[in-house]
Amino acid sequence: RPFMKCARCERENREDAKFCDACGFRLSSNSNGSNGLSGITGPLDGIRVVDWTMWQFGPVSTMMLADLGAEVIKVESLDGDLGRQFNRVAGASSVLPGGINSYFEVLNRQKKSIAIDLKNPKGLEVMHKLVAKSDVFVENFRNGVAERLGLGYDDLVKHNPMIVYGAATGYGAQGPDANKPAFALTGESRSGSLFWAGPDDGIPYSVGGMADQIAGIMLSYGVLGGLVARERLGFGQKVDASHLGSVMWLGGMRYGMALVTKNAPARIDRSMARNPLWNYYQCEDGKWIAFSMNQSDRYWPFICKAIDRTDLLEDERFSSMDSRTEYRKELVAILDEIFITRTREEWAELFTGNEDIIWERVQDVFDLPSDPQVIANNYIIDFDHPVVGPSKWLQTPLGYNKTPLSTRKMAPAHGENTEEILIETLGYTWDDIATLQNEGVIL
């Protein structure tokens, strides 16, 4: 009979099989080389994720898994993810045509949506059936909420012992504040990150809600580790990530040095940068240019030559890294006077191709769509949104030469795929759906 040989264990399988009967490896009969395997959506193709999350932390993690090719089913209440109603962020309107908003759209691309009343026993039964046919379950509700609804890890392993359960928390799974409610700013505050940026004036400065993004990244990373462990070791498990722990980890070198030396790197205003070659300067057109030359003794002669100020090499105040640090205020002021004399593009023309100068334009988000590096690496992609029309969207910035990432669909409408999932995945009938709708279990 027709068969396909597994690339891993060489077991012969049916021609129409998607996974090897012996080892579970994904089968593919067609390859088109470096552009990817035919019909494969990404490295997580064939993985099903149940996404019971809202706002940003959880949706970021599951959207990243969807970008990697997983089928992500977003489970919403009958009222929907509250993010659908979030119409303004930091003063900027997120309202889009057709009653949708950019806050929800940019966090839920690639997903399907099913709307269920999980407080109804029949709704909980639907969820349990879905978990039984899935690989991953992700939730970002306060500790104890999932358990009260029958959706905790111990509840779900009864329906699927191999499930990888991702839990997003504010402060971690253990400890006296494990059940404390949290959002991004509370995690950033507790983690010490509000003292990373800004002048050293003792006042906390916002870091723009980064806790949700980095915690979502960490949770997706944890889920991937859980999937690898399941593949190699043969068991599922619970994975947790938190705002607090994730932002602390983002502190990286800063925190590592502080914990070891008891001496944290200080916040420094640009006018007092301890290394004026690790700083940014305004140009004649109001735009900024940045330099990132940590070995200042090595690079100082090159920058002086490039800006046609070799006379600075003869100034005793600037003759070494230590002396430039001592007279940093004076040197930054001199460099300010130099860089304000030309436009940024004029400076860029002077520096381009000079490998002895490590520099870059200071861009904002609106510069990125036309940046050739961004375009070449597909960090922003074009998509014809069914409501918004042709528009640009961020894509998870990972490259795979055989299973490349792609944006297949935009965020789903509320409950858009409820009937499809119930019938095609869970085996419900149209009569079952009518009954569930009449009883208020689904939309």
Is the pLDDT at 47 greater than 50? The verdict is: yes
* Segment 264-292 mean pLDDT: 91
Using CA atoms, how far apart are residues 35 and 7, in angstroms rounded to an integer?
Answer: 19
Rounding to the nearest 10 degrees, give the CA dihedral for residues 232, 236, 238, 242. 40
Compute the mean pLDDT over every residue in the chain, rounded to the nearest whole number: 90
* Segment 340-363 mean pLDDT: 94
Is the pLDDT at 140 greater than 90? The verdict is: yes
* Segment 426-432 mean pLDDT: 95
Q: Indicate the pLDDT class of residue 416, thresholds 50, 70 and 90.
A: very high
Q: Indicate the pLDDT class of residue 26, thresholds 50, 70 and 90.
A: low
Using CA atoms, how far apart are residues 200 and 208, in angstroms rounded to an integer?
Answer: 18
Q: What is the DSSP string of 35-58?
A: G-BTT--STTTT-EEEEE--TTHH
pTM score, whole prediction:
0.86
* Segment 400-409 mean pLDDT: 88
Let me know if 187 is exposed, middle or buried by CB neighbors in 10 A (0-12, 13-18, 19+).
Answer: buried
Is the pLDDT at 34 greater than 50? The verdict is: no
pLDDT of 113 reads 96
pLDDT of 29 reads 44
* Segment 62-82 mean pLDDT: 95
Least confident of 92-106, 120-134, 148-162, 409-423: 92-106
Q: What angle do CA 422, 427, 431 make, to 5 degrees?
A: 75
Backbone angles phi, psi at 56, to 5 degrees: -120, -45
Using CA atoms, how far apart are residues 24 and 13, in angstroms rounded to an integer?
Answer: 11
Angle between helices 243-250 and 184-191 (to 10 degrees): 50
Q: Dihedral sign, CA of 428, 429, 430, 431?
A: negative
Percentage of the chain lying above the pLDDT 70 cut = 94
Least confident of 41-45, 87-91, 278-282: 87-91
pLDDT digits (tens, 9 = 90+) for 161-213: 999 999 999 999 999 988 888 888 899 999 888 888 888 888 898 888 899 99
pLDDT digits (tens, 9 = 90+) for 207-239: 888 999 999 999 999 999 999 999 999 999 999
Is the pLDDT at 424 greater than 60? The verdict is: yes
Backbone angles phi, psi at 177, to 5 degrees: -110, 20
Is the pLDDT at 61 greater than 90? The verdict is: yes
pLDDT of 85 reads 85
Is the pLDDT at 244 greater than 60? The verdict is: yes
pLDDT of 17 reads 72
Q: Indicate the pLDDT class of residue 37, thresholds 50, 70 and 90.
A: low
pLDDT of 30 reads 37
pLDDT of 109 reads 92
pLDDT digits (tens, 9 = 90+) for 289-327: 999 999 999 999 999 999 999 999 999 999 999 999 999
Is the pLDDT at 137 greater than 90? The verdict is: yes
Q: Indicate the pLDDT class of residue 40, thresholds 50, 70 and 90.
A: confident
From the list 219, 18, 252, the residue with the least C-alpha distance to 137 is 219
